[in-house]
């Protein structure tokens, strides 16, 4: 008879139970415990809120949204770079039982139009503009007009209406909520070419954030610098909910990642924890003013999104004063974290593995027949537990493809489990490209490039990149008699229509793709050839 020490299966245990609360109930509990502690700081503007102040403004916004007709189950979009209002909207919708729909700030018209239609959006909370991006113009272009723009008189009026409303109405809304109800939709690209809306509950994301915070030992004394995007689980779950569920403060250094502003925020706000994907830490370490900032307040942090080079982790630990920095692995569909390293792990475990299973979660590694493989053998990484999403929004068939009858989420990643129960990702079953922490699925880009009048056929692959981990490369077969396309021409065609991180950096023209005898494109061979072609 096999035992768990021999097979690639592990389950997480903890002395601390799961939270049986809604997000609003968690906020009330923490605000009652720590009313005068700082909860949120926007370091660029200097705005700051205690937990009591934050709860008050959240409640005003929730009542203001309720006066606009937002009810339990309605989908409310949030389309903005990082700002305090993002966090206010996150909590205000949770108070009402509305479903927050996270929209990538880099999305363009075709992408946001799809999300609006697929989710059945009731209201959009949006930045009016940021840098060269005109959100208002794009929303007008797609014909969506039920919008509340952040920082405008309409925003202030919504808060004023909420301030004049009867707070008993909010208590009545909260009393009708349960923690298993959907609270969030996060769109993740799919191989069909269209994003899928991973639907998450209070229970999913509140507990995942809480146990990530437990993993890095947060208390009300901690101050967490969050330069990662709030629209992603890394920011809104591991960051906001991970910190606030422990009474810790969230510090937002800038609307989008800026290494200097991040270092300034850690220095000025005496942050004890710092988040980022490896490329963010690399940029901070390489900044010419790095030595000017006092980072000695740092204790811990989280690195996730892509594999971390050993030398980078060593420098983060030594030069950024983060001896307890952790590696997390997960995916949007699992709220997101399934495995995490511990501060008790040695440097090798924190750089060469993705850690061990999280509390109250099960993980296994299986072969093509779904059988659990012996430890050390590669197979598909699967996870099960409270963190697995409710499903893809209005796509039951896609949900059944991802979650099997036993409620195991199939990640599509190839992993191994060692004798200590730690896991390592060794490859991907699907051809997802991971660029700087962003998941990119080639099929979506391929279908877009097919629209170009001179493109006969196209295949998109990921190629190695020192800065981002991977970059996007398009192999194109031209239509007969068409002028050859350059990389610049492809970028020009895609700019404004595709998110910038999906636009191919490299373009390679071919007469045909390498194929198997059964007629399938050999993307593995294409990647090998690309390394030689590009001299990578």
**Greatest pairwise CA separation for the chain in angstroms:** 72
321 backbone φψ class: left, alpha, beta (φ>0; ψ -120 to 50): left
DSSP E strands: which ranges in 153-219?
182-188, 196-201
- The pLDDT, as a whole number, for residue 306 is 67
Give the phi and the psi of residue 48 in degrees, each rounded to 5.
Answer: -150, 150
- Which helix (H) or strand (E) segment holds residue 147: the answer is strand 147-149
Q: How far apart are CA 83 and CA 103, in angstroms?
A: 14
End-to-end CA distance of the chain: 48
Q: Beta strand 249-252 with 223-225: parallel, antiparallel or unpaired?
A: parallel
What is the pLDDT at residue 520? 63
Class (C level, CATH) for 433-534 = alpha beta
Burial 450-482 (b: 16+ CB within 10 A, else e): eebeebebbbbbbbebeebbbbbbbbbebeeee
Measure the CA–CA gap between 354 and 336, rounded to whole angstroms: 13
Per the CB < 8 A criterion, the answer to whether 101 and 121 are in contact is yes
Rounded to 5 degrees, φ, ψ at 114 are -65, -45
43: tokens are 């370091």
Q: How far is the CA of 290 from the CAs of 228, 264, 287, 320, 461, in angstroms? A: 19, 10, 5, 10, 35
What are the pLDDT tens digits along the chain (536 aa)?
Answer: 456 679 999 999 999 999 999 999 999 999 999 999 999 999 999 999 999 999 999 999 999 999 999 999 999 999 999 999 999 999 999 999 999 999 999 899 989 999 999 999 999 999 999 999 999 999 999 999 999 999 999 999 999 999 999 999 999 999 999 999 999 999 986 444 588 999 999 999 999 999 999 999 999 999 999 999 999 999 999 999 999 999 999 999 999 999 999 999 999 999 999 999 888 998 899 899 999 999 999 999 999 876 666 778 889 999 999 999 999 999 999 999 999 999 999 888 887 899 999 999 999 999 989 999 999 998 899 999 999 999 999 999 999 999 999 999 999 888 999 999 999 887 667 677 889 988 787 778 887 898 899 998 889 999 999 889 999 999 998 988 888 999 899 999 999 999 999 999 999 999 988 975 445 678 888 999 999 999 98
Judge contact between 184 and 89, C-beta under 8 A.
Answer: no
What is the Cα–Cα distance from 386 to 360, expressed in whole angstroms? 7
Read out DSSP for 73-125?
A: T-EEEEE-SS-HHHHHHHHHHHHHT-EEEE--TT--HHHHHHHHHHHTEEEEE
Bridge partners, 40 (sequence order): 49, 250
Copy the structure tokens of residue 50: 């205690």
- Domain locations in the chain as residue ranges: 433-534
Q: Report strand pairing: 433-435 vs 438-440.
A: antiparallel
Residue 47, φ and ψ in degrees, nearest 5 = -70, 140
Q: Is 391 left (phi over 0), alpha (psi -120 to 50) or beta?
A: left
- The DSSP call for residue 19 is P
Q: Residue 474 is inside which H or E element, if any?
A: strand 469-478
- For the beta carbon of residue 6, count every other beta carbon within 10 angstroms: 12
* Beta-ladder partners of 329: 339
Please state, in angstroms and rounded to a whole number, the distance separating the CA atoms of residues 439 and 437.
7
Q: Are 316 and 285 in contact (CB under 8 A)?
A: yes
Shortest CA distance to 228 belongs to which of 238, 218, 219?
Answer: 238
68 alpha-carbon distance from chain centroid:
29
Beta carbons within 10 angstroms of residue 527's beta carbon: 16
- Candidates 113, 115, 116; CA nearest to 141 is 113
Strand 379-385's sheet: what is its strand order? Answer: 9-11, 361-366, 379-385, 409-417, 423-428
pLDDT at position 519 = 56
> Rounded to an integer, what distance in angstroms lies between the CA atom of residue 441 and that of residue 191?
6
> From residue 285, how far is each of 220, 253, 295, 315, 464 by CA, in Å?
28, 17, 12, 8, 21
Q: Give 408's Cβ-side CA count (13 Å radius).
A: 20
Instruction: Calculate the dihedral angle through the C-alpha atoms of 400, 195, 21, 217, rounding to the nearest 10 degrees.
Output: 110
Beta strands in 306-367 (DSSP E): 326-330, 337-340, 356-357, 361-366
pTM: 0.85
Q: At what angle do helices 84-96 and 51-67 cross, to 10 degrees?
A: 60
- Per 3-state DSSP, the chain is made up of helix, strand and coil in percentages (nearest 5) of 35, 25, 40
pLDDT of 1? 47
């Amino acid at each position: 008879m096999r035992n768990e020490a021999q097979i690639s299966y592990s389950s997480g245990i903890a002395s601390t139970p799961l939270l049986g609360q809604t997000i609003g109930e968690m906020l009330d509990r923490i605000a009652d415990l720590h009313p005068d502690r700082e909860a949120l700081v926007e370091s660029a503007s200097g705005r700051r809120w205690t937990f009591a102040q934050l709860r008050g403004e959240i409640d005003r916004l929730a009542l203001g949204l309720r006066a606009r007709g937002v009810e339990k189950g309605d989908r409310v979009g949030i389309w903005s770079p990082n700002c305090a209002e993002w966090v206010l909207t996150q909590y205000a919708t949770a108070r009402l039982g509305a479903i927050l729909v996270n929209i990538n700030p880099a999305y363009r018209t075709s992408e946001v139009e799809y999300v609006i239609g697929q989710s059945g959006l009731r209201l959009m909370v949006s930045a009016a503009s940021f840098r060269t991006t005109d959100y208002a113009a794009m929303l007008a272009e797609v014909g969506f007009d039920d919008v509340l723009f952040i920082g405008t008189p309409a925003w202030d009026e919504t808060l004023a209406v909420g301030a004049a409303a009867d707070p008993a109405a909010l208590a009545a809304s909260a009393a009708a909520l349960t923690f298993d109800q959907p609270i969030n939709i996060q769109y993740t690209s799919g191989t069909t070419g269209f994003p899928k809306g991973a639907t998450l509950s209070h229970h999913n994301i509140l507990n995942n954030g809480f146990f990530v915070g437990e993993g890095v030992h947060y208390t009300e004394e901690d101050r967490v610098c969050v330069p990662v995007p709030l629209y992603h689980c890394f920011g809104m779950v591991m960051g906001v909910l991970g910190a606030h569920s422990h009474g810790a403060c969230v510090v937002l250094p800038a609307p989008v990642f800026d290494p200097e502003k991040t270092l300034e925020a850690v220095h000025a706000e005496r942050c004890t924890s710092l988040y980022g994907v490896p490329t963010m830490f690399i940029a901070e370490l390489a900044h010419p003013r790095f030595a000017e900032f006092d980072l000695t307040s740092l204790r811990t942090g989280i690195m996730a999104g892509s594999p971390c080079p050993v030398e980078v982790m060593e420098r983060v630990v030594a030069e950024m004063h983060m001896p307890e920095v952790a590696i997390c692995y997960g995916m949007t569909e699992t709220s997101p974290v399934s495995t995490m390293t511990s501060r008790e792990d040695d440097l090798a475990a924190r750089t060469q593995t993705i850690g061990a299973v999280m509390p109250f979660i099960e993980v296994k590694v299986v072969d093509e027949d779904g059988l659990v493989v012996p430890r050390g053998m590669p197979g598909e990484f699967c996870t099960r537990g409270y963190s697995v999403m409710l499903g893809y929004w209005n796509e039951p068939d896609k949900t059944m493809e991802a979650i099997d009858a036993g409620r195991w989420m199939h990640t599509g990643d190839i992993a191994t489990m060692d004798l200590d129960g730690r896991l390592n990702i060794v490859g991907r079953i699907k051809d997802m490209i991971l660029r700087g922490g962003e998941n990119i699925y080639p099929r979506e880009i391929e279908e877009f490039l097919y629209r170009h009048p001179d493109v006969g056929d196209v295949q998109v692959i990921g190629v190695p990149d020192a800065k981002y981990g991977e970059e996007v490369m398009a192999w194109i077969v031209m239509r007969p008699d068409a002028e050859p396309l350059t990389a610049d021409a492809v970028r020009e065609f895609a700019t404004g229509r595709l998110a910038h991180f999906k636009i191919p950096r490299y373009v390679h023209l071919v007469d045909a793709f390498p194929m198997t005898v059964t007629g399938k494109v050999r993307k593995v061979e294409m990647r090998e050839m690309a390394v030689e072609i590009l001299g990578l």
